[in-house]
Amino acid sequence: MAELGLECTIVDSENYARAVAHLREHHIVLPRFTELAEPSSIPRGVLSALDGVGPDDVDPLNLFRVTWYNGPYRRSQVAVPAHLVLSEALTGVPAKIVVALGNRFPMIGAHKVLAAYGCLVPRIITGQFDPTRHRAVWPSTGNYCRGGIAISRIIRCRGVAVLPEGMSTERFDWLENWVTDPSDIVRTPGSESNVKEIYDKCAELERQQENVIFNQFNEFGNYLVHYLCTGKALEHIFENLSRSHDGLNLAAFVAATGSAGTLAAGDYLKPRYGTQIVAVEALECPTLLYNGYGEHNIQGIGDKHVPLIHNVMNTDVITAVSDTATDCLDLLFNTDAGRRYLVERRGVDSTLVGGLEALGLSSICNVLAAIKLAKYLDLGPDDAVVTVATDSAVLYESERRAALARCFPNGFDEVAAGEIFGQHLAGAATDHLVEIGHRERERIFNLGYFTWVEQQGVPLSAFDARRRQTFWRDLHEMIPQWDQLIDDFNDQTGVSTAR
């Protein structure tokens, strides 16, 4: 299970000693998982020192900004994580659609930097990763590898990004500015749906002993950091909304499958609020929904497989959204004609319309899925559906230009905006949505066998253990153990005295 990031003892004392010396030399303090979940607990000395650090600086203190609680300029800390509450004028449903904003995270403007921290640090504090001689390999469809490169740069180790060549230009522009060597950007064939090709490249890279693969799809650090940090952030947002809306019900948590890390927040919310967990995928590649396959452009939700860290047996609903809808709504939300239509013709508050630029393609997918669910369950004004905006529209300017040229070669005006609103928001249907019971959960769970046992060599016993909810509850007990190891590690470096 060490290969899955599940160690809570020191595995290699020599690696550990070299890592301690390395972080001491570079004055690096590692935040506890609980500090990232509750940043009000971060020592005042650290917060004061952060005042002089830019949110995109390669500075060790920015590790303490890897939280949901950054302010609008990502420098200050806020009491409640940034979020949008989408109005009925926009969504067409009376239920509150609540969207936590991932663009407030430092360095990459996306929440995947949290997942990267959650995967790398447990390896360091258990002696499984030596930053002086190992290279951290980050396979992803975009944001996770950017997060991995950012965390690697801060830790002062070599990071390698592995991602499909068809991803947005903006992802590659960012990577070219952040990697220490151009060869550390590895392009694999295909686009969003080509995850296996990423795995194949990682298998090749793993033959070199200095490479350590941090596969977000099977690293349980990804699951655990979202369970705690994203789960608590959404809880905090909901409790804050409940103060002004007595009797508000947290009906559902919606998230695109992707690596399934973010879905772990549902495991946090469900026992506390009875929240349903809704997994979303692209209609063009409906792997969970219909055992299907295909290509799509909802960047951020790689598919054609079931992630090992997806707690399938605790998932309640599977639904799918078309990339035609996400591409078109990206135009509606991020063009002058589209915004003008929303304000003047649909009566959507101008401040809310201005905030829609915080939604990237997968974020729009999450919002559409939340609307579909609210319609399907007939949710009312006393119900809330929470979801996340993993990244913002900033990362998709090139995709937007391509969509304009492809779909509206004669220009995009308010008539086109009205057609998009009518088809993809007002006309959002409840098709391609299934409430799943035990048999359907078993079907989806079993799909994972072919990727993880047959292709990736995960022991069958470890694969099957995930059927039981006791497995996942036991995982949660690792968080305080890792926090203690982080404290011990910081004590060893001696840098913790600066806190």
pLDDT digits (tens, 9 = 90+) for 223-264: 999 999 999 999 999 999 999 999 999 999 999 998 899 999
In a domain, 488, yes or no: no
* CATH code (residue 181): 3.40.50.1100
* Backbone torsions φ then ψ of 202, nearest 5 degrees: -65, -35
- DSSP three-state, residue 279: strand
User: 190 is written with which tokens?
Assistant: 């295909």
327's enclosing H/E stretch is helix 323-334
Q: Please say if the pLDDT value at position 485 is more than 80.
A: yes
- Tokens for 224, please give them: 């655990």
Whether 21 shows a pLDDT value over 70: the answer reads yes
Residue 217 three-state SS:
coil
Query: What is the tens place of the pLDDT at every residue in 55-88?
Result: 999 999 999 999 999 999 999 999 999 999 999 9
Residues 165 and 280 both lie in one domain? no
**Residue finishing a domain among 220, 237, 260:** 220
Question: Which domain range does residue 63 map to?
Answer: 2-81+109-220
Is the separation of the CB atoms in 158 and 152 below 8 Å? yes
Q: What is the pLDDT of residue 300?
A: 67
Asked if residue 141 has pLDDT above 80, the reply is no
Say how far apart CA 98 and CA 31 lie, in whole Å. 28
Alpha helices by DSSP H, 156-230: 169-178, 195-205, 220-225
Instruction: Indicate if 198 and 181 belong to the same structural domain.
Output: yes
The C-alpha atoms of residue 276 and residue 266 are separated, in whole angstroms, by: 8
In this structure, the answer to whether residues 142 and 268 fall within a common structural domain is no
Give a yes or no: residue 497 inside a domain: no
Q: What is the pLDDT of residue 182?
A: 94
pLDDT of 2 over the 60 cut: no
Domain identity same for 267 and 282? yes
Same domain, 314 and 371: yes
Looking at the fold, whether 98 and 114 belong to one and the same domain comes out as: no
Return phi, psi of residue 126, to 5°.
-110, 10
Q: Is residue 448 part of a domain?
A: no
Whether residue 454 lies inside any domain: the answer is no
Domain count across the chain: 2
Instruction: Give the pLDDT of residue 6.
Output: 86
The tens digit of pLDDT for each residue in 169-195 reads: 999 999 999 998 999 999 998 876 677
For the chain, helix (H) and strand (E) counts, in that order, are 22, 11
Same domain? 243 vs 204: no
46 and 173, same structural domain?
yes
Q: For residue 357, is it within any domain?
A: yes
345 and 254 housed in the same domain: yes
Query: Within the chain, what is the greatest distance between any pair of CA atoms?
Result: 66
> Pick from 435, 450, 479: which residue ends a domain?
435
Is the model's pTM score more than 0.85? yes
What number is the average pLDDT over the span 133-138?
A: 97
Measured distance CA(15)–CA(124) in Å, rounded: 8
Does some domain include residue 377?
Answer: yes
Residues 243 and 159 both lie in one domain: no
Residue at 492 is within a domain: no
Asked whether residue 89 falls in the same domain as residue 129, the answer is: no
The reply to whether 155 and 292 lie within a common domain is no
Do 103 and 110 touch, CB atoms closer than 8 A? yes
